[in-house]
Structure 1
Amino acid sequence: MTKQIILNAFDMTSAMHNSHGLWKHPDNQRTRRYKDLDYWIDMAKLLERGLFDAAFFADVAGVYDVYQQSKDPAIRDGLQIPLNDPAFVVPAMASVTENLSFAVTVSTTYDHPFSNARRFSTLDHLTKGRIAWNIVTSYLPNAARNFGLDNMVKHDERYDMADEFLEVSYKLWESSWEDGAIIEDVVSKTLTDPGKVHQINHNGFYFNVEGPHLSEPSLQRTPVIYQAGTSEKGREFAAKHAECVFVGGPNPEKIRYYIEDIKARAEKWGRNPDHIKALSFLNVVVAETTEEADLKFAEYNKLWSPDAAKALYGGGSGYDLSEYTDQDDYFEYKHTEHGQTSAKSLTKDQPKKLTVKEVLNRFETINSNNVLVGNPVEVADAIQYQFEEAGLDGFNLAHFVTPASLEEFIDLVVPELQRRGIYKTEYAKGTLREKLFEHGSSVLPDDHPGRIHRQSYITK
């Protein structure tokens, strides 16, 4: 059977996501409607019509405040603010769909494993096993101050925290409750067998959690684990924990390198590399003809906000582009405690050194290298090339104008991908994990490090 594309809608429960300045477009409904439950219900129905695998919700814990050493550029142009909690829209979206799944972003630096475990068990129950957790470690200085810290936790330590966060989570999801703990025995007046519910008694460096988990096991027990990050620490973390990795790069060759590296590391953890799916970023401007698509792209460029783009890059990389004044200087890599992927994207990951002027110019307009523009056949050609050349399993699809960009993709591109046999014509059955993987289990496979906790019951 031909390998088929996994497709998620890359979104955020905010007035804008990463379509900088496009809130001004008259057809952009999200700016006005993102606060309305009906908007997200309509979105769920649209995505299921397009046979999307999931709605993938990004999230942040603070305002982008590196560029110009100010929050103003981000706030002025709606860069991921105002922003609501994505977890609350999921049950409503699930109630009007049968197969669409949901990936929700939660930070391991600014949340707690006990409360987070209950959040995801609840969502997995309410969606009947259609939940994934996108793990982030967070990098914004404002986020650190929002949670009482003077400075951000250093990059590598954030991953150490995340590793222990996952250990606690697995204990809560996998070992706290045995199968069959709920017995509903009227004669003995016992709803739940206390002998099958266990404390986890975790005493670690960052977390101390007695347990037991408050929620009974859901269909997946542990949600499908998503993770993004191509730093050394990020790839090692993904190799150990992730079932789906979000991988970026300047070209298909670099993306393939990251994927192969993560899978090789996973084998060292005793994992089957086929139990890891790799997705990358995708943005599309499509119309019936190439000329119409080019005109649409030009229209979007007129509304583009360079300041919002620079603010996003500043938060991700730690580089304040307003401080770079000598445009003939080379734009050099320097270590920060922000995101290493963003820091490398315009330095180490470039085939040749860029000047400051070349870097700044990249933010003045939409980067055409990151957007597929054309008619349905041209766009499908480009998607298929990236899919096959990079060794990807799928994409997180962004969108400039919502819902118009998604509607155009569903109506024009999806049928072309289906004709080529690289996109499904119907949903598979089962939970999200069963849909994604051929191991046939709704719970973690035996080779996953989290599974070792499944039978490690700890007596109260």
Structure 2
Amino acid sequence: MANKQRELILNVFLLRYGHHPAGWLHPTWKENGRPDLNWWVKAAQIAEAAKFHTFFVADFIGRSSELTPQAAKNPSNFHFEPFTLLSAIATQTKHIGLVATVNTNFSEPYNVARQFTSLDHLSGGRAGWNVVSSLNPATVGNFGHHDGRTHEQRYERAEEFVQLAKALWDSWDDDAFDHPDRESGVFFDTAAAHPVSFHGKYYNSDGLLDYPRPIQGYPVFVQAGNSETGREFAARVAEMTYSSATSLKVAQDYYADVKSRMAKYGRTEDQLKITPGLNVVVAETDQEAQDKYAELQDLVDFSEIEFGGFDLTQYPLDGPLPDLPYDPGENGRGRFQQQLELARRENLTIRQLVLKFRVARGHLQAIGSVKTVADLIEQWFVEKGADGFNVVPPYSVKGLEDFARLVVPELQRRGIFRKEYSGATYRESLGLDRPRNPNTD
């Protein structure tokens, strides 16, 4: 079944307290809640030893001031800031791509351009940017932003943000600082500088970036979005998508749809890698894996259930999803629609919906033996539901260790996953071209 013209991509997205809402309650999680750099470095080194392409770090900015009993049960926001963490990890790894999430609503293009340039040079050309434009009410409260941007406006603003960041990265020739002339006392040739004069709808900037162009030209652009606006943004801007799908047909439709939009922007399909999330629990046998996952499911708290802005705790857990005028707001439209369609299509109870979709965050679940998991990955890859996967283990780093130890060797044996890193940079590892500098052509 192996397709020699494509190489399976494997990324990993970890949360220290587990992706499963009850992950930190599992007996295997024996840590306290303090930040721990060693945990993250160890995880990145495990992924690199297994030849993963990407170590992906999310950023859950801000926390609500409402200290409810339910809030006290949620550890998901307590993580390192991505640039700080990945800069430390860069010194302890050599090959794996390092993707930082940056929300364009709570940052400025100049600062972000500086940060990614620094990370790219610190890591030897391994930086990636997960471009996010969500506007969570709790985050808005922390930053004091109350401008009421719509879903479409946020994407429009994010695209202009990226355009300005690119202009700043292109404000220096690649070799601008390679030949300081000590005899004349001239550190750089002014012809190698290309001052920015950017005046857009949302941003204005005049000047030069105060650091050399990234080793990769630009960081690799990653994006997550299933909505119509998100798909169009991916086709125009992204080089990798972190998407979600719970069936091969849905994944194939998304894959074909997004890639078919690229030509009108002068892009080829291989310039975008589609990597759905893969919620995976693997063991020696299918039964053992199911038993391991059941231990987590038994720990799920159903005391508070919200869906589309409605509190569902007043409805029977084992009854159907009620027919209510759900409103997901401006965030997560694509994911919300997936949940609603799944519940209606499979006639799920509220309990089943929580356990099947919301626990896995809308991602494909692979729970079984090495063969079961590898068969699913290979089928989705070969039948073009995915170019690879963003592996999201439900609990702690143990899930990554199991995947690296059991699944990766099987994928290598089947000839669909590499045994060694290729290329010197993250872009080269992914088979992506290095962007030219339009000021030097």
| TM-score between both structures, scaled by the size of structure 1 | 0.86
Residue 42 in structure 1 maps to residue 42 in structure 2:
yes
2:8 equivalent in structure 1: 5
Distance 1:429 1:364, change over 3 A: closer
Summarize the alignment of residues 358-437 of structure 1 with structure 2, pairs less than 5 Å apart.
358-364=349-355, 366=359, 370-437=364-431
Aligned-pair distance for 1:372?
1.5
1:454 equivalent in structure 2: 438
1:61 equivalent in structure 2: 61
Distance 1:380 1:306, change over 3 A: farther
Q: Deviations over 1:376-403 (max 9, x none)?
A: 1122112222323343111111112222
CA contact (8 A) 2:35 2:79 kept: no
Residue 207 in structure 1 maps to residue 203 in structure 2:
yes
Distance 1:414 1:185, change over 3 A: same
Q: Deviations over 1:45-96 (max 9, x none)?
A: 211111111111111223379xxxx563663223422232021121222222
Aligned-pair distance for 1:456?
7.6
CA contact (8 A) 1:227 1:245 kept: yes
SS of the residue aligned with 2:349? helix
1:177 to 156, 172, 177: 172
Distance in 2 (CA, whole Å) between partners of 1:202 and 1:213 is 13
Moved more, 144-153 or 98-107: 144-153
CA contact (8 A) 2:60 2:77 kept: no
2:113 equivalent in structure 1: 117
SS of the residue aligned with 2:99? strand
SS of the residue aligned with 1:218? coil
Residue 274 in structure 1 maps to residue 237 in structure 2:
no
Q: Deviations over 1:365-422 (max 9, x none)?
A: 7569842121211221122223233431111111122221111111111111111111
CA contact (8 A) 1:330 1:354 kept: no
1:448 equivalent in structure 2: none
Distance in 1 (CA, whole Å) between partners of 2:232 and 2:399 is 35
CA contact (8 A) 1:140 1:152 kept: no
2:333 equivalent in structure 1: 340
Aligned-pair distance for 1:115?
0.2
Distance in 2 (CA, whole Å) between partners of 1:263 and 1:150 is 35
Distance 1:11 1:403, change over 3 A: closer
CA contact (8 A) 1:281 1:397 kept: yes
1:447 equivalent in structure 2: none
Moved more, 269-278 or 386-395: 386-395
1:196 equivalent in structure 2: 192
Distance in 2 (CA, whole Å) between partners of 1:85 and 1:168 is 23
CA contact (8 A) 1:379 1:413 kept: yes
Identity of aligned residues (%): 32
Distance 1:173 1:320, change over 3 A: farther
| TM-score between both structures, scaled by the size of structure 2 | 0.89
Q: How many correspondences in the alignment?
A: 431
Distance in 2 (CA, whole Å) between partners of 1:222 and 1:369 is 29
SS of the residue aligned with 2:277? strand
SS of the residue aligned with 2:106? coil
Distance in 2 (CA, whole Å) between partners of 1:307 and 1:420 is 45
Summarize the alignment of residues 316-331 of structure 1 with structure 2, pairs less than 5 Å apart.
318-322=308-312, 325=315, 329-330=322-323
Distance 1:239 1:39, change over 3 A: same
CA RMSD of aligned residues (A): 2.7
SS of the residue aligned with 1:32? coil
Aligned-pair distance for 1:323?
7.4
SS of the residue aligned with 1:184? coil
Aligned-pair distance for 1:334?
4.2
Distance in 1 (CA, whole Å) between partners of 2:185 and 2:160 is 38
Q: Deviations over 1:213-260 (max 9, x none)?
A: 111112112100000112111111111100111221231111211221
Give unmatched runs, 5+ long, in structure 2: none
Q: Deviations over 1:243-279 (max 9, x none)?
A: 1112212311112112211112111111112111100
